[in-house]
Structure 1
């Protein structure tokens, strides 16, 4: 693909934003169906999820499944050093808007877990290819936070996306962190 990462990011963000509210709900439910029986989840206790923004595939149905299965969920919060902190996420966790307008738990009443102690991290993405390469939003938050996964296998990083965000090939930079797999509303790509 001859376009730059920023051009590709713009195109793919427009593609996911073009989905209707009904398509978004349906995609989130299909994503949950695909992931709910996978051993990556059934064998895990500490799972990081995110709150969808800007047309990202919505993991609400997956979150509800995890809560009902007795799993501990965590949400990312942008820390002072632009790394992500992970805070326990319960149905009654109060949320505040971060600098990007995305809801996240307040640090005041936070129960933190270190990223190394998470079993699975569901990572939002802008684009992906079948080799498991991920194009994020460009802030590098997940790449910085999980740079340590270059040398250890835990946590599993699983990218979540709409199938329409798949492209032939994602250009890679040396700081990009590889995914363990990518799940969409139509299938799971093992990497």
Structure 2
């Protein structure tokens, strides 16, 4: 059973990553612009001050336009950084147009470790979460490292709101899930706000 589940998850990941990577530059731009407009209309984001998100890679929906809009509206933007002492965990650091970035071991850009720019989970208003696939119940399939699942454990006690962001085609009616997957209450795509609670 576990072997079958893992195989299904691997298959879904490979298929969705293939679809993402094969989007044209124009398709990615359009999706990123539409997502940014959708996000800025969402009341929780409009009222939030401290928002974490990610720099897109591997065909993930383009966050560039959303980041620019957040900066323009004077919101504080933060990026994930691999925890240097606790493998499998994330820290979040302030991201501005002047922030210097470096490649981590997954070849993803992240800010340099500067404790003065770090924010705690208790201080975050919203965490925008990447995903490979999702369903109507807010169940999310990630890349398999579990970084966000660990970060989102007991998210209610920290009082931030986790929101998934993805391309529309990453929605699936059925998803191979595992008991460690964290459900998301809201998911944003370019064309829709999915309320999953």
Q: TM-score range by the shorter chain?
A: over 0.9
Deviation string 1:72-100 (CA, Å, 9 cap, x unpaired) is 01000010312110001111000000001
Residue 94 of structure 2 aligns with which residue? 88
Residue 152 of structure 1 aligns with which residue? 157
Report the TM-score when normalising by structure 2. 0.91
Q: How does 1:48-87 map to 2 (within 5 A)?
A: 48-79=52-83, 80-81=85-86, 82-87=88-93
SS of match in other structure, 1:70: coil
Residue 120 of structure 1 aligns with which residue? 126
Question: Retained in 1: the 8 A contact 2:80–2:93?
Answer: yes
Residue 11 of structure 1 aligns with which residue? 15
Deviation string 1:127-182 (CA, Å, 9 cap, x unpaired) is 01121111000000011122122x53721111111111111122221211111211
Report the TM-score when normalising by structure 1. 0.94
* Unpaired segments ≥5 residues, structure 2: none
Question: Retained in 2: the 8 A contact 1:34–1:185?
Answer: yes
Higher helix share: 2
Quote the Cα distance in structure 2 between the aligned partners of 1:121 and 1:98: 20
Quote the Cα distance in structure 2 between the aligned partners of 1:31 and 1:131: 20
* Unpaired segments ≥5 residues, structure 1: none
Question: Retained in 2: the 8 A contact 1:115–1:146?
Answer: no
Residue 184 of structure 1 aligns with which residue? 189
Aligned length: 189
Residue 99 of structure 1 aligns with which residue? 105
Quote the Cα distance in structure 2 between the aligned partners of 1:63 and 1:190: 23
Tell me which of 42, 48, 58 is aligned to 1:38: 42
CA RMSD of aligned residues (A): 1.5
Change over 3 Å in CA distance of 1:9–1:110 after alignment to 2: farther
Quote the Cα distance in structure 2 between the aligned partners of 1:103 and 1:160: 19
